Amino acid sequence: MIRAFDQAFALLKADTGMWDEIYAPLYQVLGGRGQNTYKYANMGSPLDFMQTKDIPPFRLFGGKEPNQDAYIEELMESILEHGMLGRNSDWWKWENDKKPEKGHARFDASQAGLDQVGNVAIPSLGYEPTGWNVAEGNHRLAALRRLGAPYVPAYTSSSKWREKKPYSADLPIGPNMRRWMGLDSEKGYDNAYSGYGIGASVGRRGMPIPPSFFFEQELVPGMGRLVPDLPNDLTAADMPLEEVRGEPFGEWQNYPKWKVIHDE
Number of domain units in the chain: 1
Q: Which domain holds residue 78?
A: 4-261
| CA gap 30, 2 in Å, rounded | 35
> Over the stretch 31-79, which tens digit does the pLDDT of each residue have?
889 887 666 545 567 899 999 999 876 655 455 566 678 888 999 999 9
Q: Return the closest-CA partner of residue 156 out of 65, 261, 50, 23.
A: 50
Residues facing 98 on adjacent strands: none
> Over the stretch 141-200, which tens digit does the pLDDT of each residue have?
989 999 999 999 999 998 887 778 899 999 999 999 999 998 887 766 666 656 678 988
pTM recorded for the entire structure: 0.87
Element spanning 212, H or E: helix 211-214
Element spanning 225, H or E: strand 225-228
Question: Under a CB-based contact definition with an 8 Å cutoff, are residues 33 and 260 in contact?
Answer: yes
